[in-house]
Amino acid sequence: MNDFNFRVGGAAGQGVQTIGYVLAKTLARGNLSIHLSQDYESRIRGGHNFTDIRVSEEPLYGSTERVDLLIALNGETLERHQAALSNKGVAIFDAESSGREVEKPYEFNVPFERIAVETAENKIFSNTVATGAALSLVGYDLDFLREVLIETFKVKSIKVAEDNIKAAEAGYRYVEKNFKGETALKLKPVNGQRRMLINGNEALSLGALAAGCKFMSGYPMTPSTGILQYLMDQHIIAEQGEDEIAAINMAIGAGFTGVRSMVATSGGGFSLMVEALGLSAMTETPIVIVVGQRPGPATGFPTRTAQSELEFVMHAAQGEFARAVLAPRDAEDVFYLISKAFNIAERYQIPVIVLTDQFLADSYWTIPPFDFSAIQIDRGALLTEAEAEKIKDYARYRFTESGISPRALPGYKDVLVVADSDEHTEQGHITESADIRVKMVDKRVWKTRGLEKEFTPISYGPEDAKTVLLGWGSTYGAIREAVDRLNQKRIGVRMVHLNAIWPFPAEAVQDALEGSEKRVIVEGNATAQLARVIRSETGVEMTVKILKYDGRPITADYVVRKFEEAAQ
Amino acid sequence: MTVTIEDYRGEETAWCPGCGNFGILSALKKALVELQIPPYEVLIVSGIGQAGKLPHYMKCNTFNGLHGRTLPVATAAKLVNNRLNIFAVGGDGDGYGEGGNHFMHTIRRNPNIKYLVHNNQIYALTKGQASPTSDIGFVTKTTPGGVTAKQLNPIALAITLGATFVARTFSGDIQHQVQMIKAAVQHRGFAYIDILQPCVTFNHLNTYGWYLKRIYKLENEHHNPSDLEAAYLKAKEWGDRIPIGIFYQNPQQQPTYEDQFPVIKEQPLVKQPIDPKQYEKLIQDFL
């Protein structure tokens, strides 16, 4: 693979994330493809965090385990990641401040702190020295870094931006002068259209805005907090509730009153929201619920990733009712998929759950600018005030062929909207009638019939391959790359991948699996949840399971390794 | 068009004969008619319990939600359409037990919604268990030896938290309730009314007679509702004498929650059109 992976590591509070982002942005400015992933602990200071910045001239879809250039902000980083260094891998660190000498041939000392103090009079600029040094090692143009540093730091002051540039230049020159070895790859800008560098949470937020989400409520919880924070600054109402129960009840109140509304949380917060999930279903109030998965149960691994909530969100809440579950692949997919989520929520008047995870939420991709004109808004059976006024004796839950009742809003002149969490009549009033109960249950359970026809699994790789790697959600990039690599090794495999799981597109999945002999499920959980869903919905068994539930993302390296192990 | 009591006639009730809820229902309708607010401009968000059924027995926009969760729904509804007159209605179990956290934080937010708590000091829908406002020693099905936990004082709690309008009324006194509800509607901000309500079936301690013997009107004793300290002292009074009326109303107009969102200054959120292209320029931040 013609790609290069930087790894920046250090303690929380040392600026790992800033270096990672600045480096990624600088490389993206040269129209290179980036994938940035973040590994961090649940603490504000200390511990060990790292960010991977993978870069290539070719499109990148996921991360890699191999490290070509390690930027170690402390001695611990060297110890932890040296084994991951590639053949021509280089590790840079500050021997003076880390109190550790150069010990291995691949280690190279750059006195980050001393250079920072000498050029910008403050060791706080050590990180930027390191960034400059790293770019020098791969021979990358310094002008892009200058540009990015100005943009990043001018909000603090011009002086801070200039000091950063001085520090970067000094780090860059130090390497030019003193480094005699070579790195695995030199990186240079390529021609092309400038692309966005954006993470999953940001892309989801932009998608929600484009889809007309006007109300968002949440309660801070990793990995979804970024969505609430991003939307707080926009021209909508974003509200931090006193707890997740308040958050979702607010979003339902907003949906009932007539705007597109959303909550974002993780598994623990969703657990608190479950009763209200049923409220959304019972009152037929559209709502979008983003569940950013992380390893549970209980507090689990607060800052890490998992795909362990699929069956939970499919079955959460008492009673039986229709819902939809979507699982975006990456930052590009989530932008478009979230608008679909809002459309489905309103067309069917149901809760729609969007399953992301920490890997998707925090990872950055370089992608073409989003096409806002491609966003279609479909508000389903929502009545205008004029339309509603014409209806004699309007009833919110009117029985219809489709099971979907025309929806008026409170405040429409001379129209009354009555919604109830109790079993209710067409008018929305409490009832104890057995007959009405049966009709209402049928309405709520079956109204999404046919929706699964809109869900098409993605197929990738040689069509005639008898071996299929099957996955869902954020594993898309890893599986896709694994398919490429296995085919390069002349192992014929193809991928079938789902970004919409419920209602389950059984026919489409069956078609996609047609002719397959070996079916390998790839999931970020311990029990192969999607495999179980596929078996129950289609009768088709997965023959091999590649699972990962250590809190770390699934990479192509992992899939290839496990695939080969299983084949032996 | 004149709004009449007929406009608010709702479904047949399922309350026990003699229930205190009837008085509250009559008073609320009467207040709305006196204020000439048409039903389509009213939204009642109710919880679960006998009180939560109230909007079904009226005729207006209704969201009968989950137990304890009226206030978040009502707050959001107000943010989305600030032209609606929004009431949250629930009982003491709903509001002070299950929903206590929302009570606390809604007071902090001060949305322009009205909160009516039917306080009968017992769980009635579930047939007779202690509530947060049950008197010490009160024997119920879940407190066979009598209630031991100290009675919640929601009036004092609300005042302490900085509520801008705090009142108590009695379901046996329609005129007083109408007066309180009208004052609450006219208050710009979160207006909270605790309504003492006998439960004729399960609470044989706090009966009509019990309340009538004890309650007195604050206005008859020259209470000044803008005096915070006096309000707090009155709130602590519970025993031989129980005050009803407006304990506290902040004399300075406080910003409502809705006031603090610039996006709804010009137009209610619900009236704002959806335009995907509106946000296209945000792409620049990521290039």
From chain B, pick out residues whose CB is under 8 angstroms from the CB of A237.
79-80, 261, 263-264, 269
> Which of A201, A232, A407, A421 would you mutate first to test chain B, the one with the most B CBs within 10 A?
A421
Apex CA A217: angle with CA A212 and CA A219, to 5°? Answer: 145
**What confidence category does residue B1 fall into, taking pLDDT thresholds of 50, 70 and 90?**
confident
> Which of A34, A196, A248, A259 would you mutate first to test chain B, the one with the most B CBs within 10 A?
A259
Instruction: Tell me what pLDDT residue B176 has.
Output: 98
Q: CATH number for the domain including B254?
A: 3.40.50.970
From chain B, pick out residues whose CB is under 8 angstroms from the CB of A254.
76-77, 79-80, 269
B51: contact with A, CB 8 A cutoff: no
Interface of B with A in 64-93 (CB under 8 A): 64-66, 69, 71-77, 79-81, 83-84
Instruction: Tell me what pLDDT residue A568 has.
Output: 82
CATH class, domain A453-567, is alpha beta
Instruction: Tell me what pLDDT residue A184 has.
Output: 83
- Judged on CB neighbours under 10 Å (0-12, 13-18, 19+), A320 is exposed
Mean pLDDT on A507-535: 97
**What confidence category does residue A252 fall into, taking pLDDT thresholds of 50, 70 and 90?**
very high
Question: Per CATH, which fold does A3-178 belong to?
Answer: Pyruvate-ferredoxin Oxidoreductase; domain 3 (3.40.920)
Evaluate whether the domain defined by A198-374 bears CATH number 3.30.1490.150: no
Question: How close is the nearest chain B Cα to the Cα of A436, in Å?
Answer: 17
How far apart CA B20 and CA B54 sit, in angstroms, is: 12
- What three-state secondary structure class fits A169? helix
Closest CA to A54 of A77, A82, A23: A23
Facing B80 at nearest CB: one of A235, A254, A416: A254
**What confidence category does residue A185 fall into, taking pLDDT thresholds of 50, 70 and 90?**
confident
Facing A420 at nearest CB: one of B38, B64, B69: B64
Facing B287 at nearest CB: one of A196, A377, A429: A196
Question: How close is the nearest chain A Cα to the Cα of B56, in Å?
Answer: 6
For residue A468, the surrounding DSSP H or E stretch is strand A467-472
Q: Where are the domains of chain A?
A: 3-178, 198-374, 453-567
How far apart CA A390 and CA B274 sit, in angstroms, is: 24
Mean pLDDT of chain B: 96
Question: How close is the nearest chain B Cα to the Cα of A4, in Å?
Answer: 22
The 3-state DSSP composition of chain B as helix, strand, coil percent (nearest 5) reads: 40, 20, 40
Taking 70 as the threshold, does the pLDDT of residue A1 lie above it? no
Question: How close is the nearest chain A Cα to the Cα of B112, in Å?
Answer: 15
Taking 90 as the threshold, does the pLDDT of residue A326 lie above it? yes
- Number of domains making up chain B: 1
Rounded (10°) CA dihedral A430, A433, A434, A435: -100
Mean pLDDT on A295-301: 97
Least confident range of A42-46, A259-263, B108-112, B263-267: A42-46
DSSP A127-142: HHHHHHHHHHHTT--H
Question: How close is the nearest chain B Cα to the Cα of A328, in Å?
Answer: 20
Q: Mark yes or no for CB contact B279/A234 under 8 Å.
A: yes
Mean pLDDT of chain A: 96
Q: Mark yes or no for CB contact B43/A410 under 8 Å.
A: yes
Instruction: Tell me what pLDDT residue A181 has.
Output: 87
pLDDT tens for residues A198-210? 999 999 999 999 9
Taking 60 as the threshold, does the pLDDT of residue A564 lie above it? yes
> For A566, what's the count of Cα atoms within 13 Å in the CB-facing half-sphere?
18
**Helical segments of A94-157, H only:** 95-98, 112-120, 126-137, 142-153
pLDDT tens for residues B138-159? 999 999 999 999 999 999 999 9
Instruction: Tell me what pLDDT residue A322 has.
Output: 98
- What three-state secondary structure class fits A337? helix
Mean pLDDT on B103-115: 98
In CATH terms, are A198-374 and A453-567 the same topology?
Answer: yes
**What confidence category does residue B252 fall into, taking pLDDT thresholds of 50, 70 and 90?**
very high
Q: Mark yes or no for CB contact B80/A428 under 8 Å.
A: no
Closest CA to B206 of B159, B142, B140: B140
Mean pLDDT on A389-416: 97
pLDDT tens for residues B220-243? 999 999 999 999 999 999 999 999
- The whole domain housing B15 covers 5-286
How far apart CA A102 and CA A117 sit, in angstroms, is: 22
From chain B, pick out residues whose CB is under 8 angstroms from the CB of A195.
287
